[in-house]
Structure formats: structure tokens, C-alpha cells
Amino acid sequence: METTTTFIRRKLAEIGASALVTPQQLQQALALLPRRPSLGAPEHADDRHDDLAAYYALGPYHSRKLNLQPTRTIRRTSLLEPVRSFRSVADSSEQIDFVLTTGDPRVTKSETIAVKDVIPGTSFNPKLRVRLQAIFCRNDDGLLSGARVGQTAQVLGPAMQKIVAAVNEIFVPMAGIEFVFYPSADLEIVNNTRLNQDFVLPAAVQEQLSKKTPLTAQEMEALANQYTTTPDRNTYAARYPEKMVLLYAEGTTYNFDDAAQRWVLSSPSGGGFSWEDLEFVKLSGEIGTTDGEAHGYVHGFQAHEMGHFLHLWHTFGGGFYLSNAEFTDPTTTIDQKLALIRKRVTDYIEDHRTEAPNGDLTLLLDGDRGAVTDTPPDEGTHILQLENMLAGTGNACGKDGTITLTLSDGTPVTYSPDRTLAMSYYKGCFDNTYSPQQVERMRKALTSGNRRRIVKTQLGDTAAAGEYVCACWKPNANAQAYVWGMDLNALKAKAAALAKQGLYLTSQQAYTKQGITRYDGIFNPSKNAPYIIWGWAVADFQAENTKQQAAGKGLTHLDSYLLADGQVRINAIWYAGAASANWIQGYAQADFGKQFFDRAKANQRLIHLNSWCLPNNGGIRYDAVWVPGNNKQYAFVNLTMQEFQQKYGEMWGSKRKLTIVDAVRSGNEIRYSGIWDPDTNAQYVVWGYTREQVRQMYDEMWQQGMKLQSMSTAFF
């Protein structure tokens, strides 16, 4: 397999372009960039003819080696702002427009952002957060094409943050969609040839490429589509059902070597792709690292492919292009090339004249009218490109933006493509936009289409089987450890080991699965070792509490759980020197509510809350521990996820933060409870997470100086 750089150099030599100097030679080089095979793409999402996508798919390495620069320029006068931390945003003086949820769609962070809708009168409800997974692919040997070493995670992390910031400059104000990416949790480098290449031909099939009678282009296309790696990529992307997967891969194409009279495979291929039923967005194998490169990459390439993933079509109809050979033919003038492409478009209109909706001939060139009706007609880019080159006013991004065609009977057909639309091939001319109906279609893909899985928990879905973890973090510079799923012996061993580091169990949750009681727990620094009981009967706990209080130890934690036979058992923690506590165990919701208000009036504050469900869906019960103190707490219990999210927003607005979060399964639902205290510090909250997602988020929060404050798991 030859590299694409080698291929382009060979082709440039064939057409006599010794140096890439003139705009025409630059355009010739871009036209020569190899295109991937169709790989089953529907017509409205087939990006094989996009020269700018082909350019970006080369990656910065190959572009520099060829001295290539894209012929379209991004009209931008200022650099991107750096990615802001949520703590700095929360302290900013910007006008607060709404409180956003972030991280995985089920994450909330205390951040406020000033947002003005680009589309007048549009109000986005709900605001949507889409978590990304960036997968950078290498071949099986860990290398890229030409035996090159790819970019490292240390380089890719900050580069991806710049790209995501550029994406959000488009989507947040225009569509109410924010994309979220954390380098430590959402970036991976995978050595897998079938993920890195668009198709992989078996050795026996590759031998056919050397036949004395070469295969036809149609036969090569059929082979590439037959041995496509799209199923492998879909399977891998399905590991992340609640993320949009960005697959940064080199891809593969085939080119005919005229001298050798044989087909040659090359990599990287030109372009990216996605469409409605793919599980990933295929992008380039390498990315730029500067703000300017990120902005150009997004507006010239990535925003377009992400649009396809969210069900958008091309704005242009007919796919009118000069072939690479026609565009780079040194024997024809620009005038002749322009006449050829204009004739193709007018011939198409003539042939389909009777099919024009309401007699409007321009609508024959409206490629996405089957999806939206508010984008103007557009035949592609070659007419404006050649007209502007002929007039000396640039390229497809030049001054002239209106096209007039004349049919055989003298009928004029005039239209002006919207060169700002990301789903056109003028992307890169101006900062990208989406039309109002395009925005509506993308949001429907997320809220009611096949992409709902990505944001389902934002929308209140709780029907999926498995585990549902809710947790909150707060600023904390101390050490910490956590465990989950341990049996009692393993938990005791872990507690003994952590005690040597000065870390002791401060909260835990017990649950019985498949007849075995397992434990989750959080360990924090303490000068004193706690006294802990596990699995005691209620009466025995009551007696032990009296004994520990007499010894000067205060109850700090109490949780009930059920054994497999339905018996109630108690875990509890006491610490020496802790305040004398009042507690309840197994109270119904109304009784808990009365206790909460009565104890608040008596200047007592809640320090622990645990909910659990009686056998056979007999109702939710509550355990709670109070100590002296009045923080003007708020308690909300037995809420749906949507209700809980709403309360979180209300409490945030009144300068209260979540200090205790709790989840329990009741019937076929997860019910959430929380305690809020006055607090102006930053906070991070998740709900509906899997444990693996919490593990990833824990690592991310650690880097931000945030530690777990409360955690609870519910199971289906």
C-alpha cells in the first residue's frame, strides 16, 4: 500500500505541476486527492466528491509534506478562547441564561453560560448535552501509513479540546446542543487495522489487482464495498451507546497506476462520512493542534459529518461535478471547464423539468428538500468555483455568489446557494450555520430518533436494565478512596489496608444480589478510627448505639438493606468525638418528612440519608441521622429523574448545593432523593451512570481537585 502523499506527487508530475504555486495548481492538487469508495453511503450523505473533506482527511502531516493549503479560507478575525473551567465560568460576570447539565448527558455541573439564540425567537427545551468518545486508530502494528508514529494522547487531548470548543461555538447558540469531552475519560488510541482502514482486501483478492487485464473501476468499487470494515466500526462504536463516537481513522482508497497498469491501494483516503444508521462519525487519522487549525477543521469538515450523524442531508442536488481528470486536464481552459459543468446542470434541469415542485425549476437542485424546506437550491461548488476563478475574484468562496443558467428555450434559472450552511460543500468559506429546520431535525434525531440513546437519561428515560449510580463531588484537596461490589471479607481487608494510610470508611451502601451481600464505600482521612457494624438486626443495632454513645462515639452513618429472604439488616458507623446524633430507621415518607421539619425547627441538620424498598414493592423506607446545627437545609425525596433535575436547577438558583444524593429502585422506576445545603462552591453531580462511567468521572474530577461527597446505586 502506497501513501497518499506518494500518489499525489506521482499524479502532479503526470500533469506537469512541478510546484504548488498558483491557485490553479493548488486546485489541481486538491482535485487529485483520492476519494474513498462509496461504502454504501446514501446519495444525500455521499461525501466522496468533497475536495475540502479530502484535504482535511489527509491530516497535517501529509498536507505539510505536499505544501498544500486549502483553497477556501475561513473568514475569522480572532482566535478561539481557551476552554474555560467550570469554576471560572461560575465566577464570571456573564449574564446567566440557563443552567446547563454537562458531562455524560446525566451529569450536572454548577456552570452558567450566557447564550443568545442565533435563530430569532427560538427557545431550546431541553438544552441537550452530547458526550463524545474520540477514538484515534492505528494499524495492528501501532503505526500509521508509511510506518509513521501517530500523535500521542498528550498531544491529542488538548487538540481535541480545541476542536470541541470550535464545535460548540456553532451548536450551543444555534441548536441548544453542547458536546462534552474529557481527555482522561473520552479519548482512546486503538491499534486495529480494521478500524483504521475503510476496507481490507484478503491476500487472495489483492492478487487480482496485478492481473494483466486490470479490473474495471466498477469492479474495484464492488470489491471495496464487499470488504468494507463498516460492520467492525459499528460494532466497536456500539460499546459507547450513550456517546457520539468520533472515529479518527486514516481510511483506504484505490488509485490506478498508469505506468504499471494496475490498481494500487493507498492510505489515508480522502474525506469522512456518517449517515443516519451508522454508529460513528468517520474523520481524519490526524488532527491539527492550534486554535486556527481546529476552527478550520470544524468549519471545513467535522461539523458537516456530525450533521450527517444527526440526520442532515446535503443541501445540493444532482451531484454535479467535474471528474478529477476533467478538472485537472491541462488541455482545457477554465472557460471550457465552466461550460462543461454548466451544460450538465442545464441538461439535468431540462430532462427533469416536469418534475419541478410547483414549477419552480430551482427546486430540482435542492438536495435536502426531502428532509427540510428552508435551505436554498445548490448544485455543488464547481460553477461558482470556476466563475470566480475566471473573474479573478477567488474560488467558490469568492465575491460572486449568484448563478444564472439559461435553458434551451431561453428560460433563466437563477439561484444563490447559502455558502454558510455546514451541509453544503461551501463549508469553509464562512463560519458554519444550520437552518432552523436543520436544527429541528438534529434535535429530533436526539430526542425522538435513533440517537435518543445518547441523551435518554436527560429526557427522563429509566427503563434500561442495569445499575444506576448517582454521585456528587465537591472541592476537596484531601486524599480519598472508594470501593464497590465487595463482599464483607474483601471490604474489611480493604478497610484495614487503607487505615494504614489514614483513610477510614465514612459512608457505605449494602445490597444483596444473587444471594450475596455486597458493599460500596467511601474512605476519607480521619484522626480517629471508626467503630463499624455490618449486618446486624435492628434491635441489636439499637442496643449497640446506646453503648457507643455512652462511650463518647457519635453515630455518623446508618443504612438498612434486605437479605435474600427479606430480613432487614443494619450497617452503622460511629466516630469518637462526633456530635451526639438523633436518628430514624425504616420510616415511611410522610413520617420522615415530619421528622425533617421538626428537627430543623430544633436546630438539627441532616448528615446522612438512605432509602430502601420493602419486599414485594411494599414501599420506600428512609433512614436518617441528624446532629446539632441549622444550615437551612432543603430535602426532596422520592422524585423522578426529571423532577430531581428540576429541583437541582431550582436549588442552584437559590445558592444551595447537593450534599447527600440517594437512589432506590421502586417497581420499574428509579426514585431519587437529595439534601441541599447553602453553598457557593463548585459542584459536580451525575445520575443514572454505570459504575464504569463513575470510575472515569472520578479520575476526571480528581484532576479538577474534586472528591466524592455522596454516592448511591440502584439496580434493576
Q: pLDDT tens digits for 157-178? A: 999 999 999 999 999 999 999 9
Give the percent of the chain with pLDDT over 70. 81
How many angstroms separate the most distant Cα atoms in the chain? 104
Q: For the CA atoms of 81, 83, 84, 86, what is the dihedral angle to 10 degrees? A: 150
**Cα three-residue angle 161-281-112, rounded to 5 degrees:** 40
What pLDDT score does 280 carry? 97
> H helices within 310-421, ranges in order?
324-328, 334-351, 382-391
Cβ atoms of 617 and 666 within 8 Å: the answer is yes
What pLDDT score does 94 carry? 24
> H helices within 448-484, ranges in order?
452-455
Nearest to residue 183, comparing CAs of 543, 700, 711? 700
Alpha-carbon separation of residue 682 from 124, 475, 704 (angstroms): 25, 7, 11
| Residues 6 or more apart whose Cβ sits within 8 Å of residue 301 | 52, 53, 56, 57, 272, 283, 284, 427, 428
Sign of CA dihedral 309, 313, 314, 315: negative
Nearest to residue 423, comparing CAs of 319, 294, 313, 321? 313
What pLDDT score does 12 carry? 59
**Cα three-residue angle 17-22-26, rounded to 5 degrees:** 70
Q: Under DSSP, is residue 123 helix (H, G, I), strand (E, B) or coil?
A: coil
Nearest to residue 629, comparing CAs of 574, 588, 678? 678
What pLDDT score does 611 carry? 95
Q: Could you tell me whether strands 98-101 and 2-3 are parallel, antiparallel, or unpaired per DSSP bridges?
A: unpaired
Cis before 268 (ω within 30): yes
Q: Which long-range contacts (CB under 8 A, 24 or more apart) does 511-518 make?
A: 511/561, 511/713, 511/715, 512/561, 512/562, 512/563, 512/564, 513/715, 515/564, 516/487, 517/487, 517/488, 517/561, 517/563, 517/569, 518/484, 518/485, 518/486, 518/487
What pLDDT score does 615 carry? 86
Cis before 628 (ω within 30): no
> H helices within 74-186, ranges in order?
86-90, 153-175, 183-186
- Give the cell for residue 496: 484495614
Cβ atoms of 182 and 190 within 8 Å: the answer is no
Q: Under DSSP, is residue 641 helix (H, G, I), strand (E, B) or coil?
A: helix
> H helices within 266-333, ranges in order?
291-297, 303-309, 324-328
As a whole number of angstroms, the distance between CA 295 and CA 299 comes to: 6
Neighbours of 198 (CB within 10 A): 26
- Classify each residue of 292-319 as buried b or exposed e, where b means 16 or more C-beta atoms within 10 Å of its C-beta: ebbbbbbbbbbbbbbbbbbbbbbbbbbe
- DSSP bridge pairs for 258: none
- pTM of the predicted protein model: 0.64
- DSSP bridge pairs for 613: 620
Cβ atoms of 288 and 251 within 8 Å: the answer is no
User: pLDDT digits over 512-559, tens only?
Assistant: 877 889 999 999 999 999 999 999 999 999 999 999 999 999 999 999
Neighbours of 339 (CB within 10 A): 13
What pLDDT score does 498 carry? 95
User: What are the E-state strand segments in 331-487?
Assistant: 403-406, 412-415, 467-475, 481-486
Alpha-carbon separation of residue 443 from 134, 139, 210, 448, 695 (angstroms): 21, 35, 49, 8, 29
Q: What end-to-end distance do the CA atoms of the chain give, in Å?
A: 50
Q: Could you tell me whether strands 656-666 and 669-678 are parallel, antiparallel, or unpaired per DSSP bridges?
A: antiparallel
Where on the phi/psi map is residue 358: left (φ > 0), alpha (ψ -120 to 50), or beta?
left
DSSP 8-state code for residue 258? T
- Classify each residue of 344-358 as buried b or exposed e, where b means 16 or more C-beta atoms within 10 Å of its C-beta: bbbebbeeeeeeeee
As a whole number of angstroms, the distance between CA 236 and CA 238 comes to: 5
Alpha-carbon separation of residue 341 from 46, 272, 347, 429, 499 (angstroms): 20, 25, 10, 21, 77
- Give the cell for residue 410: 431561453
E strand or H helix that includes residue 699: helix 691-703
As a whole number of angstroms, the distance between CA 716 and CA 461 comes to: 14
Nearest to residue 111, comparing CAs of 89, 82, 93? 89
For residue 7, count CB atoms less than 10 angstroms from its CB and return exposed for 0-12, middle for 13-18, buried for 19 or more. buried
In one-letter notation, the amino acid at residue 83 is V
- Give the cell for residue 611: 432509602
Nearest to residue 346, comparing CAs of 318, 368, 366, 313? 318
Cβ atoms of 569 and 545 within 8 Å: the answer is no
| Residues 6 or more apart whose Cβ sits within 8 Å of residue 183 | 153, 156, 157, 158, 160, 161
Cβ atoms of 430 and 418 within 8 Å: the answer is no
Cβ atoms of 56 and 303 within 8 Å: the answer is no
E strand or H helix that includes residue 634: strand 634-639
Low-confidence ranges of the chain (pLDDT < 50): 20-21, 71-122, 462-465
In one-letter notation, the amino acid at residue 393 is T
What pLDDT score does 68 carry? 57
